[in-house]
Amino acid sequence: MPATAPKPVLLELLRCPEPHHAPLSFDRETNALTCSECAKVFRVEDGIPVMLLDGAGDQD
């Protein structure tokens, strides 16, 4: 199943939920958003980002 990217306007608004609120980038291969500061990875399901810190992974 191909990755469904969040809409560009949503990507401009989304920030990491950690206190630094850094911007996120979308990786189509992993279908996930990655924080530019702490490298936490948030999965995207059906074009909807799952921005829960409990479910976030670290970039390998």
pLDDT of 47 reads 81
In degrees and rounded to multiples of 5, residue 55 shows phi and psi of -95, 0
Looking at per-residue pLDDT, the higher value among 4 and 51 belongs to 51
Sign, Cα dihedral of 6, 34, 3, 45: negative
Sequence-distant (≥ 6) Cβ neighbours of residue 42 within 8 angstroms: 24, 32, 33, 34, 35, 49, 50, 51, 52, 55, 56
Query: Does pLDDT of 2 surpass 70?
Result: no
CATH number for the segment(s) 8-58: 2.20.25.10
pLDDT of 3 reads 66
Place of tokens 């199943």: 1
pLDDT of 31 reads 92
pLDDT digits (tens, 9 = 90+) for 24-56: 999 999 999 999 999 999 999 888 899 999 878
Mean pLDDT of 2-31: 89
